[in-house]
Chain A
Amino acid sequence: MSPPLVELRGVGFAYPASGEGRAHPFRLADLSFEVGAGEIVGVLGPNSAGKTTLIRLLTRVLEPATGSIVLEGRPLRRWRPAELARRVAVVPQGVPPQFPFTVEELVLMGRYPHAPDRYFETQVDRASAHAAMEATSVLEFATQRLDSLSGGERQRAVVARALAQEPRLLVLDEPTAHLDLRYQAETAALLRRLNHERGVTILLVSHDLNLAAEVCDRLLLMAGGRQVAVGPPEAVLNEALLATAFGCEVTVEKHPTTRRPVVLPTWRADAPSIGRGDAPTTKGG
């Protein structure tokens, strides 16, 4: 069997104790899992489970304090930033509020790691950006400013930028966080298509348990900076494990058509009040 695309071995990390706005310094401890080439892996967990920290570690925005991360058999710290950006592309949770560039200009930014010293993009870059915009159906908006688009269109433009990097691993940070129901189905379809047609390996970091259950081959469940479980959706989306991770009772059913697991909150009149810092809209640590 070929080596995994990404492998984490005993990865640990702690933010400095004086981190602003944090009552308790956040720690990530003993994370060990791998992502095989061609897989779609979901990373799930409540707020401050360590999901965003994991993305930062994978892209060397942060360096692990302990353990190691290996990409294509080579330790991550031995990858140069541009080289790494040709392998791993991140779709962040959104774009800055003031972003004056057009969709095409945004997508062409994804070509930067392929030739950081070049002043203007080449025809090859333009062709790649064109294909990426086609793949996410934003070609018709190419010359429009990003901030004139709707949330879903903007999200697809950002995915196109990541695809223009021509990465082997596409990491998505909460791709449906600010989007309504319609886009969840669209996102699921888009991810499957990218995985099948372009052979992109996908790491889907999400709150959305049902989206992950629907598209992922395997799931990593995290809570409080630790890994709770790794495995196929049917094994990880288990009522006891989810109760441990999220600190509340849930019901797991089967989706009527896809037969994938569906997680529902267990609505009870006497449910315990939600703990501090668990507001459902804030971003995880």
Chain B
Amino acid sequence: MSPAHRLITLLGVLAAVLVLAGAVALFVGSAALSPRAVLDAVTGRASAESVERVVTLSIRFPRIAVAILAGGALAVAGVAFQALTRNPLAEPSVLGVSAGAAFGVVIGQSLGLGPGLLQAAGLTAFAFAGALLAAAAVYLIAAAGRELRIQTLLLAGVIVGIFFSAAITVVVSLLDFNRLGGVIHWLLGNLAPIPPRPLALFAALLAVGFGLVLAHARELNLLALGEESARQLGVHAERLKLVIFVGAALLTASVVAFAGPIGFVGLIVPHALRMLVGPDNRLLVPASLLGGGVFLLVADTVARTIVAPAELSVGVITAFCGAPFFVWLLRTRYRGNV
């Protein structure tokens, strides 16, 4: 089967799973709605003021949308960082980029940026600046030698992540100590419904980031040959690295600004898909968008039902899955090289 056919089949299957997961997510939650009531709300038979309509369309539906968008974006960012650094364990949270973006968000909030549309755009700008700062710091620390070694890169990511987490705590403590608890909750990664217009902005920002990565998926394959060989094959390596760096940082920053720094999605989803379809980024990038959406949606549905009527942060679920997965990857796949 040609790669194009494989891609179409893969996307078809993932889209079907995504629709199924979305449907399930719409029917479950802490408000005890009967399946019938949800159906009425979705098909418009429930009155505009009814509980089922508000819960289904204004709470559950936007939250499902946020989960799908954020999961897709984080998975694509993971693929991009892995190809860029030629490091299979790279990922926005592992690299400290999420923490940098979160620091940007906290700074933005401390300047009074709140939930409106323009303010959401402003927060994303701060998150983007923070993500670029963290990624640049990691790169500069890790690239001190000639090549980007896997160990050095991971250590640099951890250190930068710790640094920015500490910086966040400092900023929040100085501003309003009482909010610290809420911030820690948010730092774990926590999905909440977003109003329609900010949600559209979120989707648009992700579309830009995704487009940048997708448009260079073939070049990312060539980068696996090493930078010099990629250049000798006609790839503008410097430009490619910059574009992917910016695209992945934008994806990460948008998710952090709109949903919080959710970890490990960019590690779990691309690796699971690699086992299915192999290393070709032209398949992985679009498949990760859907696969990441499925994964985070399922994780969030579990997070909001497993201890109902209370809720867990979705970041807790992804971390509980991601940390053992990371260890497993280290122990089995990359034993000789890490």
Interface residues of chain A, those whose CB is within 8 Å of chain B, are: 20-21, 56, 59-61, 80-86, 88-90, 92, 95-102, 105, 109-110, 112-113, 116, 118-121, 165
Residues of B with C-beta under 8 A to A165: 233
Residues of B with C-beta under 8 A to A112: 218-219, 222, 233-235
Residue B175 CB within 8 A of the other chain: no
Contact of B4 among A102, A116, A120 (CB under 8 A): A120
User: Known contacts being A100-B279, A119-B282, is A110 close to B233, with CB within 8 Å?
Assistant: yes
Contact of B217 with A119 in the complex, beta carbons under 8 Å: yes
Contact of B234 with A116 in the complex, beta carbons under 8 Å: yes
Contact of B232 with A100 in the complex, beta carbons under 8 Å: no
Residue B88 CB within 8 A of the other chain: yes
Residues of B with C-beta under 8 A to A99: 224-225
Residue B337 CB within 8 A of the other chain: yes
Tell me the minimal C-beta distance from B66 to chain A in angstroms.
Answer: 29
The count of A-to-B residue pairs whose CB atoms sit within 8 angstroms is 83
User: Known contacts being A97-B337, A113-B234, is A56 close to B228, with CB within 8 Å?
Assistant: yes
Residues of B with C-beta under 8 A to A102: 278
Residues of A with C-beta under 8 A to B236: 81
Q: Which residue of A lies closest to B334 (CB)?
A: A98
| Total interface residues in chain B, CB < 8 Å | 29
CA separation between A95 and B226, bound complex, in Å? 8
Contact of B222 with A109 in the complex, beta carbons under 8 Å: yes
CA separation between A21 and B144, bound complex, in Å? 13
Tell me the minimal C-beta distance from B244 to chain A in angstroms.
Answer: 16
Residues of A with C-beta under 8 A to B110: none
Q: Which residue of A lies closest to B282 (CB)?
A: A119
User: Known contacts being A97-B337, A98-B337, is A90 close to B234, with CB within 8 Å?
Assistant: no
CA separation between A201 and B334, bound complex, in Å? 40
Tell me the minimal C-beta distance from A88 to chain B in angstroms.
Answer: 8
Most chain B beta-carbon contacts within 10 A, residue among A86, A113, A118: A113
Residue B50 CB within 8 A of the other chain: no
Tell me the minimal C-beta distance from A154 to chain B in angstroms.
Answer: 13
- A-B contacts besides A101-B221, A109-B233, 8 pairs, CB < 8 Å: A61-B228, A61-B231, A96-B226, A98-B334, A99-B225, A100-B224, A116-B219, A119-B282
CA separation between A116 and B234, bound complex, in Å? 8
Residues of A with C-beta under 8 A to B235: 81, 112, 116
Contact of B224 with A84 in the complex, beta carbons under 8 Å: no
Contact of A81 among B2, B234, B274 (CB under 8 A): B234
Contact of B234 among A84, A92, A105 (CB under 8 A): A84
Most chain A beta-carbon contacts within 10 A, residue among B222, B232, B282: B232
CA separation between A81 and B233, bound complex, in Å? 7
Residue B185 CB within 8 A of the other chain: no
For this complex, 23 residue pairs linking A to B, each with C-beta atoms less than 8 Å apart, are A61-B228, A61-B231, A80-B234, A81-B234, A82-B234, A88-B232, A90-B229, A92-B229, A95-B225, A98-B86, A99-B224, A100-B224, A100-B278, A101-B221, A101-B280, A105-B278, A109-B221, A109-B222, A112-B233, A113-B233, A119-B218, A119-B282, A120-B282
Most chain A beta-carbon contacts within 10 A, residue among B4, B218, B233, B236: B233
Residues of B with C-beta under 8 A to A119: 217-218, 282
CA separation between A26 and B310, bound complex, in Å? 67
User: Known contacts being A56-B228, A98-B88, A120-B282, is A85 close to B234, with CB within 8 Å?
Assistant: yes
Tell me the minimal C-beta distance from A54 to chain B in angstroms.
Answer: 13
Cβ proximity bits B120-159 to A, threshold 8 Å, 1 near / 0 not? 0000000000000000000000000010000000000000
CA separation between A88 and B234, bound complex, in Å? 10
Contact of A85 among B2, B228, B232 (CB under 8 A): B232
Residues of B with C-beta under 8 A to A80: 234
Residues of A with C-beta under 8 A to B228: 56, 61, 92
Q: Which residue of A lies closest to B236 (CB)?
A: A81
